[in-house]
Structure 1
């Protein structure tokens, strides 16, 4: 698994796609970098744009979770690409993946519960959360994987006339394909809209509330009714990773699934620079359209991560789709070729131009190659982080939680190692929000990046 909850390509059927497209690992690595930078902020002094929006709105921090869900969906067809091959029988092909899906779901949920319980103090265990980021990834992974296993056969080339359940295969194929490629997200969003906007919270202070408000929402009523306020995040009336909002969060994963299916089904398009650039154009257009649709829907259904509204899902799907297109262009579309590429090192022939022009072109080529050689480690680092993102997610959580529980006095006030060190060592020399950013960047460059490069050089990939 290469992002929280994302399976990597396994076996000979999926290997070529993973070897060919560095963008898959690089995009995961980019999300890991974003997650580390956001998760390493010091809440007391961090800029609001780097913290989650309160209520409705969108910040940089609100892009991390939908990014992981998107890449989770992309990895599902890559790791189970055999289901899209015409020679693979529908029934046995799908069933043989079920044990793997169940195992990963259980392990993801268990790791999430471990992080919620850490550092296993009594006050933490008494108010233990039953949901969280990894728990949501586990549930979403299960739903999207089952959707793919059940309906992937419908997008394969027809193998011949068959009858399924008394109905002709073409009819069933059309229905299954429609549900896989559009019906599934429409049903999820429709159920959320109907349930959310027909619900009136009977709690005191909420009976007269007609607008969509997190504390009086269906999400709050369900979460508090199931496990109580004391088990919600920060003791609030609702949990941002609760059950109702997961119904729309699964749509972000579905969007990644569609992109991943395109990668598997159109391998030849991704073999050439021209083909990759064509797909990048399509991804960019789709991404911009989704962002526009989400912003247009915003005045009707507010954009907000806390309730994971459909407008928020549309905007973040658009950002991730276009973002993956940019990474794809950089790593597989010739925008960021490797430093040893013949196009970067070969000097023009002397006979092709006058001597002065040839010398100038050769000098420019050498300068360009030098710049690309300097940038190559950045790309390699993103790929290295992208190959072990679950490990780095868990590690960053453990580091932050541990240092945030170690007490430390500063100027006579009680604090923690995590909050006092940047405040005492960095804040006196720069604005407080900048000190929080510098603190996060130092952790990234001095700890996580060297560790990622070490794991990659040794070929150690920690997966579930």
Structure 2
């Protein structure tokens, strides 16, 4: 790498901070709409966060492996890293802080955010090592078109035509029920389910292609990135007319719109930070350098707070929220947001501490 792309580090840290923000409100019943996922079809700022992280994973893959050749040692390192992510994700699903310290396995969720990151990382890295950029683009187009045609037009075994609505007449939900059964986030679907992993890989591949573009000698890269992003967003919204934008399905239109928005954001940040050298938000960059570690700890601690009993019919989370944050001076939604922001600040502080101690935990 010629020099570290600071805008990528900064964007990674901002994304992790946003993940923690939307995952840790004080009261899930009192959350501002932009900090919630769309109920089904549609797009909120929260829906942009996870695809943006997978997009950055793709950029990181480009820089990490651009000088490496496909070989058994490289494949082994990729496989080990992917396996670590999957195991950490499964651990989050089964762990509980009170005896017997593990959830009942008969209905524990199998998919998850870290599991999807691990699978997407493995396949994207393998494809990058074995394919040129034209082939990667062709694979991406094929997956997006094939996913649309399969979900929208392939009849079910009983002859019923599919829809893009929630179960039962939805291929993504149908396959998850057949493969995962009770081991899903909700009884009728999982947002990190089996079929949606394929277009999620495209999200990461598009990150690889953007990383390649960033590393080129082209002039006016920031402007061109914004232009490319705008085209992708436009195409995504046109596709939305026949294949709705949907995070739970990770629809093809969702891939184009979110990757396009990610490209626009990165282009603007690249111009500000790397071209103009207007440095800001270093605290987010520090968190981005230990992104997976911070995300894992935030998820583990948050789950523990919900499970540890305190007093009468309360857990540690609710006790802390009601006794430290709730007051008559703020609305309930604002109080819930302040709690989440406080949690974010704690983990940003952890990121800064790890950076100062020169501790970088690679997962």
What do residues 116-135 of structure 1 show as CA deviations (whole Å, max 9, x unaligned)?
Answer: 11216554433222211111
1:109 matched to which residue of 2?
86
1:98 matched to which residue of 2?
75
1:315 matched to which residue of 2?
257
CA distance in 2, matches of 1:458, 1:122: 33
CA distance in 2, matches of 1:72, 1:145: 10
Alignment check: 8 A CA contact 1:43 1:51 kept: no
1:71 matched to which residue of 2?
56
1:454 matched to which residue of 2?
353
Shift of 1:299: 2.1
SS across alignment from 2:41: coil
What do residues 302-333 of structure 1 show as CA deviations (whole Å, max 9, x unaligned)?
Answer: 11101111111111011111111122122112
Alignment check: 8 A CA contact 1:62 1:305 kept: yes
In the comparison of the two structures, how many residue pairs are matched? 356
CA distance in 2, matches of 1:121, 1:194: 44
Match among 179, 185, 188 for residue 226 of structure 1:
179
Alignment check: 8 A CA contact 1:423 1:435 kept: no
1:342 matched to which residue of 2?
none
1:40 matched to 2:24: yes
CA distance in 2, matches of 1:296, 1:117: 41
1:126 matched to which residue of 2?
106
CA distance in 1, matches of 2:303, 2:156: 35
Shift of 1:396: 0.7
Match among 160, 174, 189 for residue 144 of structure 2:
189
Provide TM-score, normalisation by structure 1: 0.72
1:350 matched to which residue of 2?
none
The 5 A counterparts of 1:64-463 are 64-83=49-68, 93-95=69-71, 96-119=73-96, 121=101, 123-152=103-132, 177-180=133-136, 182-201=137-156, 211-216=163-168, 217-228=170-181, 230-234=182-186, 236-264=187-215, 266=216, 268=217, 275=219, 278-334=220-276, 336-337=278-279, 376=280, 379-408=281-310, 414-424=313-323, 425-426=325-326, 428-445=328-345, 447-463=346-362
Structure 1 range deviating more: 107-116 or 417-426: 417-426
1:57 matched to 2:34: no
SS across alignment from 1:462: coil
Shift of 1:416: 2.8
SS across alignment from 1:105: helix
Instruction: Name the structure where helix makes up a greater proportion of residues.
Output: 1
Provide TM-score, normalisation by structure 2: 0.91
Alignment check: 8 A CA contact 1:74 1:259 kept: yes
**Bigger Rg, structure 1 or 2:** 1
SS across alignment from 1:46: coil
Unaligned runs of 5+ in 1: 1-13, 84-92, 153-176, 270-274, 338-375
SS across alignment from 1:215: coil
CA distance in 1, matches of 2:15, 2:74: 27
CA distance in 1, matches of 2:270, 2:90: 34
Shift of 1:48: 2.6
Change (3 A) 1:225 1:328: same
Change (3 A) 1:418 1:44: farther
Change (3 A) 1:306 1:284: same
SS across alignment from 2:3: helix
Alignment check: 8 A CA contact 1:201 1:221 kept: no
